[in-house]
Amino acid sequence: MLKIAWRNILRNKRRSLLSLVLILISVAVLFLLRGYFSATYDGLELMAINQYSHLQIAKEGFWNEGSEERKILSSEDINKITKILDAKEEVIDYTNTLEIAGILGTEDRSTIVSGMGIETDNGQNLEIKSGTKLFAGDETRVIVGEGVRKKLHLKVDEWVSIMATTIDGAYNAGSLQLSGSFSVGNDDADSHYIMMPLSFAQTMLNTDGVDNFKVMLSDTELTDSTIQELKREFKREGLAVEVRSWRDLANFYHQVKGLYDTAFFFLSILVFILIFMSILEIMSMSFFERMGEIGTIRAIGTRRSQVFVQLIEEALILGIIGGIVGVALGWGAGVIINNLNITYTPPSSGAVPLYIKLALNNGITPFFIIILATTLSALYPALKASRLKVVEMLRHV
């Protein structure tokens, strides 16, 4: 039966080739899209981990938006958490941060800023646009978003004033010297983010505590298991803290992923309908042309189910060949696109490279969509062919 199905495909080469081309292009397009979305997810994951680290530890209630009281980890909490983190092999680095909001200004200009006190000996994964990053030992230096620098017309080494309220609600002010400016790849964020030494932020807020621990792990895959272990150990130590992963914290990751997944879903449905309708038409034509032949094989003892299987096999063979070659074609096109080094500029962002992630995983969904579409489209003609009376089919000759 398989041999007959295969030879029937070869029998009308032009029609089979047309179906194959349609399937190939559809699979290749879906593969490329999947590869592009996949690369974007990877990029977003990397961006989210850069921004939030693999996991963060903060005082219980820190992430509750309705909380009025500022939740800060005390020095005693910090010591206990540090001890636990130091004993973990998979923890490769951690740092403390303290958020600070206030007004940054010069004699002529000022702007509202959202600042972060950081440990300056820790790597700052930022794109430095001018000057330098913060270095270990810096106590009164600051780096600002490129937008902030432009807004305040700041020059490197220029002194700026910062005004903020302490955690008790009192006003406090200080002076910082500009080390440089940075970009996080988002114009909006660049226009109000600043970073300063943790000790300076603690002085401004009048606290020896921190907001959170940002923890980097040796492997992203270890995030969930490490969180579970840490939760158990913190509970044992009586620490009232919460642990969240980068996935919990990076809303933008879920938003973009959700958007792309929806787009891919609708494109898949479109391709499915396109293939379904085309193969349905082709199979119906093929069945009509071969009605007498099907009648003959039924007459000489082929069961209805065998006729049905044979016609489904024809569609399935087309789907399998189209699926495999389509993924190969998509892979080749992906290699070419990646080598062309194409970039594009999304709104409020810098140029982003158009990169296609080439992985067999990305071919699985397009492959099964095609198999499903071809098989289902052959279902009706195959059922019809197997249900018709033999004598009626023979009369068709």
Partner 1 sequence: MAIIKLENLSKTYSSQVEEVQALKNINLTIDKGDFIVVNGPSGSGKSTLLNLLAGIDEASLGDIQINNISLSSLSDRERTELRRNKIGLVFQYFELIPVLTAWENVEYPLLLQKVSKSERRRKVDRILEQVGLSKMAQRLPSQLSGGQKQRVAIARALVTDPEIVLADEPTGNLDTKTGEKIIELMLNLNREYNVAFVIVTHDLFVNKYAQKLIEIQDGILKIKEVNEYA
Enumerate binding residues for partner 1 (CB under 8 A): 3-4, 7-8, 10-11, 292-293, 296-304, 306, 389-391, 394, 397
- Whole-number Å distance between alpha carbons of 117 and 6: 69
* Token pair for 383: 């059922």
Q: Which residues contact 343 (CB under 8 A, 6 or more apart)?
A: 351, 352, 353, 354
Q: Which of 305, 339 has the CB closer to partner 1? A: 305
Q: Which residues contact 43 (CB under 8 A, 6 or more apart)?
A: 352, 355
Q: Which residues contact 281 (CB under 8 A, 6 or more apart)?
A: none
Q: Least distance to partner 1 from the beta carbon of 381, Å?
A: 18
Q: Least distance to partner 1 from the beta carbon of 322, Å?
A: 20
In sign, the C-alpha dihedral spanning 103, 146, 144, 131 is: negative
CB 275 within 8 A of CB 374: yes
Q: Least distance to partner 1 from the beta carbon of 252, Å?
A: 57
Q: Least distance to partner 1 from the beta carbon of 383, Å?
A: 15
Q: Which of 186, 386 has the CB closer to partner 1? A: 386
Burial class (CB in 10 A: 0-12, 13-18, 19+), 322: buried
Q: Which of 6, 63 has the CB closer to partner 1? A: 6
CB 237 within 8 A of CB 203: no
Q: Which of 70, 396 has the CB closer to partner 1? A: 396
* Token pair for 85: 């983190």
Q: Least distance to partner 1 from the beta carbon of 355, Å?
A: 46
Q: Which of 162, 307 has the CB closer to partner 1? A: 307
Q: Which of 8, 95 has the CB closer to partner 1? A: 8
Q: Least distance to partner 1 from the beta carbon of 391, Å?
A: 4
Burial class (CB in 10 A: 0-12, 13-18, 19+), 340: exposed
Q: Least distance to partner 1 from the beta carbon of 308, Å?
A: 13
Q: Least distance to partner 1 from the beta carbon of 367, Å?
A: 27
Per-residue b or e along 109-145, where b marks 16 or more CB atoms closer than 10 Å to that residue's CB: ebbebebbbbbbebebebeebbbebbeeebeebbbbb
Q: Least distance to partner 1 from the beta carbon of 338, Å?
A: 42
Q: Which of 155, 387 has the CB closer to partner 1? A: 387
CB 241 within 8 A of CB 60: yes
Q: Which of 292, 350 has the CB closer to partner 1? A: 292
Q: Which of 10, 340 has the CB closer to partner 1? A: 10
